[in-house]
């Protein structure tokens, strides 16, 4: 089901033949993520499409928004996801907190949504995540020899390029905000875009402040584009969602 909310295309996938759903899952895509009203990047990636199908089989409605593409967790992207959640409530009668699943850049949006309590969150899943935005910007700058992330941040946050450094100096995550949110993280052992080493410290801070289990999985030999290796853990990912339902919420 494709529709549009305040100029942003959204996609819903849901179990067929039922009007009673287990709950809601919102996917947050990476820099290559898109919804254009006819298709999505998920439809072009068999492992992700199969993951959505598995979620539907478990009774979940899955929502996915264009969310301004390369949004890097911006306020307007958070608003787009809030709008998506509200439509999920109205259209599918999803009244419980939702599960957020952030992929790559989408992890920043998932962390921001959870930290700022923009929607009620049951669990947070981060797959090949970017967890530390300033570190990631500097890493990609050295890797690509150009400030691509700085330019994308300027556009996403409506900032002059000259103000991006000031923005990043004040950027931080309030790790105590995650203290009641079960979180699972999957990092690729050989990820060249979001290296494992860049995620260890942020993960340690989140897990040390958490009152609930936080699971960290290193996906062996996985590079950033190795969806097959990441989503071979789909059963474990979904089991994590179901095991924490109705235990805690972000509100």
Ramachandran class of 33: left when φ > 0, alpha when ψ lies in -120 to 50, beta otherwise = beta
pLDDT band at 251 (very low <50, low <70, confident <90, very high): very low
Distance CA 133, CA 75 (A): 15
Residue 162 forms part of a structural domain: yes
Q: Which residue has the tokens 């150009």?
A: 146
pLDDT band at 209 (very low <50, low <70, confident <90, very high): low
194 φ, ψ to 5°?
-125, 75
**pLDDT for 86 beyond 80:** yes
Residue 248 forms part of a structural domain: no
Q: Domain span at residue 44?
A: 2-241
Residue 221 forms part of a structural domain: yes
H or E element in which residue 156 lies: helix 148-156
The model's pLDDT over 111-170, given as tens digits with 9 standing for 90+, comes to 999 888 889 999 999 999 988 889 999 999 999 999 999 999 999 999 999 999 999 998
Residue 246 forms part of a structural domain: no
Q: Is the dihedral of CA 42, 43, 44, 50 positive or negative?
A: positive
Contact 123, 183 (CB under 8 A): yes
Mean pLDDT of the chain: 89
CATH number at residue 208: 3.40.50.1820
Residue 175 forms part of a structural domain: yes
Picking from 48-52, 202-206, 233-237, which range would have the lowest pLDDT averaged per residue? 202-206
Residue 75 forms part of a structural domain: yes
Q: How many domains does the chain contain in total?
A: 1
Distance CA 101, CA 112 (A): 13
Residue 176 forms part of a structural domain: yes
List, as own/partner pairs, every contact residues 109-112 make where C-beta atoms lie below 8 angstroms and the sequence separation is at least 24, other chains included.
109/28, 109/67, 109/71, 109/72, 109/73, 109/77, 109/78, 109/81, 110/28, 111/73, 111/173, 111/178, 112/73, 112/78
Chain CA centroid to CA 110, Å: 4
Distance CA 177, CA 165 (A): 25
In this structure, the strands spanning 214-219 and 183-188 are parallel
32 φ, ψ to 5°?
-95, 5
Task: Give the predicted TM-score (pTM) of the model.
Answer: 0.92
Residue 247 forms part of a structural domain: no
């Amino acid at each position: 089901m494709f529709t549009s909310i305040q100029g942003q295309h959204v996609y819903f996938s849901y179990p067929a033949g039922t009007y009673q759903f287990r709950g809601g899952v919102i996917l947050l895509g990476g820099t290559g993520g898109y919804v254009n009203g006819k298709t999505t990047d998920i439809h072009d990636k068999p492992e992700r499409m199969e993951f959505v199908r598995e979620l539907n089989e478990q009774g979940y409605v899955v929502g996915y928004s264009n969310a301004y593409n390369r949004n890097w967790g911006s306020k307007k992207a958070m608003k787009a996801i809030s709008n998506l959640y509200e439509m999920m409530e109205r259209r599918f009668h999803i009244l419980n907190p939702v599960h957020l699943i952030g992929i790559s850049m989408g992890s920043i949006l998932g962390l921001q949504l959870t930290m700022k309590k923009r929607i009620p969150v049951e669990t947070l899943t981060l797959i090949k995540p970017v967890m530390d935005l300033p570190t990631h910007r500097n890493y990609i700058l050295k890797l690509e020899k150009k400030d691509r992330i700085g330019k994308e941040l300027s556009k996403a946050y409506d900032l002059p390029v000259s103000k991006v450094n000031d923005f990043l100096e004040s950027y931080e995550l309030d790790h105590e905000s995650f203290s009641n949110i079960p979180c699972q993280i999957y990092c690729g052992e050989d990820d060249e875009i979001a290296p494992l080493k860049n995620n260890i410290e942020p993960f340690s801070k989140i897990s040390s402040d958490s009152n609930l289990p936080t699971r960290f999985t290193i996906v062996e030999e996985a590079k950033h584009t190795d969806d097959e290796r990441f989503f071979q853990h789909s059963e474990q990912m979904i089991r994590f969602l179901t095991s924490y339902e109705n235990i805690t919420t972000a509100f």
